[in-house]
Amino acid sequence: MQKIDMHGLIEFLQKKYVEQTALFSQLKCSVNEAELLKILMSDYLAGTTEVTVFSLLAEAYKKERIGYVTHIVEVRNLIELGWVTINGQHHGKTSDIILLDLLHQSISLSITFLKLVEDGNLDIRLPEVKPYADHLEYLQDNFLRIDLYQKLAQIRQNYDPSTQSFTRVKNRLMMLEKQIKKRIAVSKESPRLERYFKERHLNEKERVIFFALLKEEYSGTDENLRDMNTLIEIVSFDDYEKIKNRSLLEENAPLIEKGIIGYDEVLTPFGSMSRSFFISEEVLKEIVYSKKKKNQRIKLDTLIKEQEIFELIDPRTTLDDVVLNSETREIIELLLKRMDTQVIKRLKEWGIKDKKGSTDSKIMFHGHPGTGKTLTAVSIAKTLKKQVISFDCSKILSMYVGESEKNARRIFDTYKDIVAKSKTEPILLLNEADQFLSSRTVAVSGGAEKMHNQMQNIFLEQIERFDGILIATTNLLENIDPAFSRRFDYKIKFEKPNASQRLEIWKKLMPTNAPFETGFNLETLAKYQLTGAQISLAIKNAAMIAAVQEEALFTNEIFESVIKKELSGAFGEEKTLGFLS
């Protein structure tokens, strides 16, 4: 058990001249103020934990009669130093305290003063200088730095920065920073982040911003650390510096230009836009989490297995397998021609297309469910000799409750990481992107609406920056936010198939080696208003019924029974039965 050395306290209470005691040198106050603390400490030991300022001054200056009111300022100074607290109240800057109002307030010794009495001093005790054993020790010290920077920022905001508490925290920060430099100097190998900072020529304030964002990445407990104003606050010691330091996070700032950090535009509760910063996924993975691996190509299927966001689709169908109306097919064929490498080469030579760009396009497929949007996307990939990584956007809220905004960005960060590691450019397919693309809420009344708007703003910005082929499918074009609509190079409508197209789909999907009844008539089935997906499902359901019967035959009766059941229930808005004329 720790023993408490009370010699300093006893000396402080018994010695006639407090200025001659060891404790006095730690107080940084006047002799009169120390005498007031002496009275408070004596009362505390006698069981009186709080007194009024009036009674304290009356006891200390009883010979001066009414003149003791001139000493109220000494109590205020003790509050400012952090040795005394006002009970039941929270004050901002101590200079704002009205002295006469303070006269009848109840005060008590602060925890800080009691800690000083117990320990003898408040100086930080840093461990002996020793090399960093690993990367985590280095990060731990720097995360403590950020805690101290945040504490200083809070004192500046809520109190007078000339207070003793501000000075103590600042001194502690300076000592810690010296300690970090000494440990780096004696380490056998400099921490890789230090090397990274030197390679990128980052100054001290840029490094503090980086560590603040990194601390949030690790802990995930203080989203405010991503806010631009918060980051500027912690690297600024006065209002002039705050104005000057905004340049650290502007568009042309080194941290952003070098791709070290990025930001999302976030809608505030007041309707304005603010920036939420983050360390780029590439930096996190290559510099912080693991050693950089150069010139190593990893198979796409291996990368997909290592994450849980995307599904890998290996295209097996071509556009010849897809039944589309003539107008839609014509647009898609034109789109493919524009993606031809020779066309891209010409556009680059003419200066129409960025030379570093590839066959990038942002495409929106819209139309009723089951009309072939996903099948067409996969078939386009087959034509372009590309693979597809698909994400079901309808799952974003249920998969990441409370983190939808962060994971909206993660979709694109993970895609970029997959592209970099596989050295391929698969098509990014975003299925059922309705909730990403729908109109944003203007009047935000709740947390859910705010989260949804922020998620959409992130999605909007990521689409703007996306480099590659992106295909988003949606059912409801009329609900699309105009800002999203403008981001897509092509918006292609998928209509429900007409009678002749439905007959073509039946012919393509019907198994050729199955037994059919005599007189089986596909034209009869094609008269039902089904989409391609519905026709595919009807064939599977009919096959299940036919297979268990004694005479296993495909009959019109079985198919019509299955179709009517589906039209009356599972396929949504189509409730009417019968035929098209």
Q: Which of 52-66, 220-234, 514-528 has the highest mean pLDDT?
A: 514-528
For 281, the token pair is: 């996924």
Longest dimension (CA), the chain: 123
DSSP H/E element including 108: strand 106-109
Q: What angle do CA 181, 187, 190 make, to 5 degrees?
A: 75
pLDDT, greater one: 445 or 50: 50
> Which stretches within 403-468 are classed as H helix?
404-422, 434-437, 447-465
Which residues in 509-526 are b (16+ Cβ under 10 Å) and which e? ebeeeeebeeeeeeeebb
Residue 211's pLDDT band (cuts 50, 70, 90): very high
Interval 245-302: pLDDT, tens: 999 998 889 998 888 998 876 655 555 667 888 888 778 876 765 544 444 567 888 8
**pLDDT for 93:** 47
Residue 580 pLDDT: 32
Tell me how far the alpha carbon of residue 89 is from its chain's centroid.
36
Angle at which helices 499-509 and 532-547 cross, to 10°:
40
Mean per-residue pLDDT over the chain, rounded: 81
- Give 541's DSSP letter: H
Rounded to the nearest 5°, which phi and psi values hold at 474? -150, 150
- CATH architecture assigned to 499-568: Orthogonal Bundle (1.10)
Give a three-class secondary structure readout of 463-490: HHHCCCEEEEEECCHHHECHHHHHHCCE
Give CA–CA dist 371/444, Å, rounded.
35
The pLDDT of residue 498 is above 90: yes
Q: How many CB atoms lie within 10 A of CB 243?
A: 11
Alpha-carbon gap, residue 146 to 148, rounded angstroms: 5
pLDDT digits (tens, 9 = 90+) for 1-17: 344 457 778 888 888 88
The predicted-structure confidence for 286-316, as pLDDT tens digits, reads as follows 676 554 444 456 788 888 888 888 999 988 8
pLDDT band at 504 (very low <50, low <70, confident <90, very high): very high
Residue 90 pLDDT > 60: no
pLDDT for 305 equals 86
Quote the strand ranges of 482-567, DSSP E: 490-494
Question: Is residue 65 predicted with pLDDT exceeding 90?
Answer: no
Q: Does pLDDT of 39 surpass 70?
A: yes
Q: Where are the domains of the chain?
A: 7-119, 135-288, 295-494, 499-568
* pLDDT mean over 307-331: 90
pLDDT at 1: 38
Q: What is the mean pLDDT of residues 43-69?
A: 83
Neighbouring C-alpha atoms within 13 Å toward the C-beta of 58: 7
More confident residue, 237 or 541: 541
Average pLDDT for residues 353-370, to the nearest whole number?
Answer: 77
Give the pLDDT confidence score for residue 292 in this predicted structure: 44
Write down the pLDDT at residue 295. Answer: 46
Quick: pLDDT tens for 102-152: 888 888 888 778 878 877 665 545 556 788 888 888 998 999 999 889 888
CB atoms under 10 Å from CB of 434, counted, come to 17
Average pLDDT over residues 179-203: 90
- For residue 523, what pLDDT is reported? 93
Per the CB < 8 A criterion, the answer to whether 200 and 254 are in contact is yes
Write the burial class of residue 52 (CB in 10 Å: 0-12 exposed, 13-18 middle, 19+ buried).
middle
User: Does the pLDDT value for residue 91 go beyond 70?
Assistant: no
Query: Which span out of 159-168, 210-219, 438-447, 558-567 was modeled with the highest average pLDDT?
Result: 558-567
**CATH for the stretch 295-494:** 3.40.50.300
Sorted by sequence, the CB contacts under 8 Å of residue 371 that are 6+ apart come out as 494, 495, 496, 497, 531, 532, 533
CA atoms within 13 A on the CB side of 72: 18
pLDDT digits (tens, 9 = 90+) for 381-438: 998 888 999 998 877 665 554 566 677 788 888 899 898 888 888 999 999 888 777 7
Between the CA of residue 68 and those of 51, 64, 342, what are the distances in Å?
16, 6, 93
Q: Of 76-90, 131-145, 157-171, 529-543, which has the strongest mean pLDDT?
A: 529-543
pLDDT value for 581: 26
Q: How many angstroms separate the CA atoms of 286 and 413, rounded? A: 13
Q: Does pLDDT of 196 surpass 50?
A: yes
Q: What is the pLDDT of residue 331?
A: 92
The pLDDT score that the predictor gives to residue 550 is 87
d(CA 529, CA 447): 42
Residue 389 to residue 404: CA distance in whole angstroms: 20
| Res 547: pLDDT | 92
**Percent of all residues in the chain with a pLDDT value above 70, rounded to a whole number:** 82
Distance CA 486, CA 269 (A): 25
Q: Which amino acid is it at 350?
A: W
pLDDT at 238: 81
When pLDDT is averaged across residues 69-92 and rounded to a whole number, the result is: 76
pLDDT (0 to 100) of residue 88 = 56
- Can you give the pLDDT at residue 205? 93
Picking from 457, 462, 468, 362, the residue whose alpha carbon sits closest to that of residue 411 is 462
- Decide if 36 contacts 74 (C-beta within 8 A): yes
* CA distance linking residue 155 with residue 169, whole number of Å: 9
Query: Is this structure's pTM higher than 0.75?
Result: no
Count CB-CB contacts under 10 A for residue 174: 12
pLDDT at 573 over 90: no
DSSP per-residue letters across 292-354: ---S----HHHHHHT-SS-EEE-----GGG----HHHHHHHHHHHHHTSHHHHHHHHHTTSS-
- The sign one gets for the Cα dihedral 528, 533, 539, 543 is negative
Query: At 539, is the pLDDT very low, low, confident or very high (cuts 50, 70, 90)?
Result: very high
- Give 100-104 contacts, CB < 8 A, sequence gap 24+: 100/69, 100/72, 102/53, 102/72, 102/75, 102/76, 103/52, 103/53, 103/54, 103/57, 103/69, 103/72, 104/52, 104/53, 104/54
Task: Note the CATH number of domain 7-119.
Answer: 1.10.10
Q: What local confidence, expressed as pLDDT, does residue 3 receive?
A: 44
